[in-house]
Amino acid sequence: MGNKECVKISSFGSLHHFRKEKKPVGAGTRCLQCQVEAGCPYSAKKIYLDPAPDRPRWPMSVVCDIEDAPEGYLHKLKEAVENGPYGKCVYETDNDVCDNQVVNFEFIDGATASLTMVAFSEHSCKRKTEVYGTMGQLVWDESKGLKVTHFDFATKTLKVHHCEENEEATGWGHGGADFFMMKAFVEAVAHDDSHCIVTGPKVSLETHLLAFAAEEARLTGSVVKPNEDPRWKV
């Protein structure tokens, strides 16, 4: 929504499934010693060990310390799943993060936006963005590659715009955004030019405050008006 002020936020969601009372019958406390592991889609063995490459890559890279990479990576990864929190049954952990959540925003000009997060999907941590305007719509689906589709309401035509992949950013987290964030910071320091950083700390703080406001809305079952509360203003 650019720099438009957000005036209302609502949110709904919960930790619905990954709870002790939802634990499968016969399941153990750790994945590698579990009798039902083979049929469990949330097995740590399936997530971290089976697809593990020779070098750290998300999500395996969060299990071990960076000092373990790459020489002792695979050994440390297996050891961490065997003994650490990443190998504990997901139904037995102290996790309190929502496994499903929707957040709704209304902006000062009447535009609205919604964010949906769900743990249960074909593609893990893949984003899909849909933008609806008065003359057309844009759709980008991370799971379908680097392309944006544009549908024109007037002509009823669909165009596909293919984006060029930046080889430097390939393999970095958050769709390459981590690379560009660090690149911008390094260039800003090297050239003593803050303009190299497109979104600075103020924007980051504003977006974090909206996230905190959304959590208050979820926990209290209310509609939060961030423009009327000094806690959510920079």
Assess if residue 142 is contained within a domain.
yes
Assess if residue 106 is contained within a domain.
no
* Cβ atoms of 81 and 32 closer than 8 Å: yes
* Residue scoring higher pLDDT (70 or 134): 134
Assess if residue 103 is contained within a domain.
no
When mean pLDDT is compared over 12-16, 144-148, 202-206, the highest value belongs to 12-16
Q: What is the mean pLDDT of residues 143-152?
A: 91
Assess if residue 139 is contained within a domain.
yes
Instruction: Report the distance separating Cα 73 and Cα 156, nearest Å.
Output: 52
Which residues does 124 contact at the CB level (< 8 Å), separation at least 6?
59
pLDDT over threshold 80, residue 185 = yes
CA of 183: how far to CAs of 148, 176, 180, 188, 202, in Å? 24, 11, 5, 9, 19
Assess if residue 93 is contained within a domain.
no
| pLDDT tens, position by position, 38-75 | 999 999 999 888 876 666 677 777 787 766 666 777 88
The strand ranges marked E within the chain are: 6-14, 100-107, 112-118, 128-132, 136-141, 147-152, 157-162
| pLDDT tens, position by position, 80-112 | 899 999 999 999 998 899 999 999 999 999 999
Average pLDDT over all residues of the chain:
89
Q: Whole domain around residue 56: which residue ranges? A: 20-87
High-pLDDT (> 70) share of the chain, %: 93
> How many CA atoms does the CB half-sphere of 31 hold within 13 Å?
28
Domain stop point among 140, 164, 188: 164
State the total domains in the chain. Answer: 2
Instruction: Report the distance separating Cα 105 and Cα 223, nearest Å.
Output: 10
What is the pLDDT, as a whole number, of residue 72? 75
Domain stop point among 113, 139, 164: 164
Assess if residue 224 is contained within a domain.
no
- Model pTM score: 0.83
